[in-house]
Amino acid sequence: MHKQKKHSASALALLTIIIVLLTGCYYDKGELIYPDSTVDCSKVTATYTAVKPIVAGKCNTTGCHNAASAAGSTVLETYDQVKALAGRIKQRALVDKTMPPGAALTTSEIAILTCWINSGTPNN
């Protein structure tokens, strides 16, 4: 009986060590988990006036998100259209970085979009 208790205690100790190691060690890219953490919005002009040329130059271009060719029926030409899809824009352009294809956003553009979306997408 004493041997069985010793074996159970050893197994429990080993299991505890494995759990601690598995839950304590991981590798994540901080910018993917906290995409807004690298942007200081106090130094960014986060207005729709600043967002509009980014969207016009990289999103609502021919073959993409304009009324003439709207890829996937997503049109990004007006404030209301951009605001309605702000969450999707944040995910695809700022977190996943899958948009815009072939025309990566600059650090400045990422900051403007991030701060504008985080400030509630004001029409200013």
What range defines the domain where residue 59 resides?
A: 32-118
Q: Is residue 124 part of a domain?
A: no
22 and 79 co-located in one domain = no
Residue 19 is predicted with a pLDDT of 75
20 and 73 co-located in one domain = no
Mean pLDDT of 6-31: 69
15 and 70 co-located in one domain = no
Task: Tell me which residue of 109, 59, 112 sits closest to 82, measured CA to CA.
Answer: 59
13 and 43 co-located in one domain = no
59 and 13 co-located in one domain = no
Token representation of residue 114: 């991030």
14 and 43 co-located in one domain = no
Q: Is residue 123 part of a domain?
A: no
Confidence band (pLDDT; 50, 70, 90) for 110?
Answer: very high
Given a cut of 70, whether residue 35 has pLDDT beyond it is no
Preceding peptide of 53 cis, ω within 30°: no
**pLDDT tens digits, 47-105:** 999 999 999 888 877 778 877 775 567 888 899 999 999 999 999 999 888 898 877 89
- Please state the domain count of the chain: 2
10 and 44 co-located in one domain = no
61 and 107 co-located in one domain = yes
Token representation of residue 81: 């259209």
43 and 18 co-located in one domain = no
78 and 22 co-located in one domain = no
Given a cut of 90, whether residue 36 has pLDDT beyond it is no
Identify the residue with better confidence: 4 or 31: 4
20 and 58 co-located in one domain = no
Instruction: Give the predicted TM-score (pTM) of the model.
Output: 0.68
Can you give the C-alpha Rg of the chain in angstroms? Answer: 24
- Provide the residue count of the chain: 124
23 and 37 co-located in one domain = no
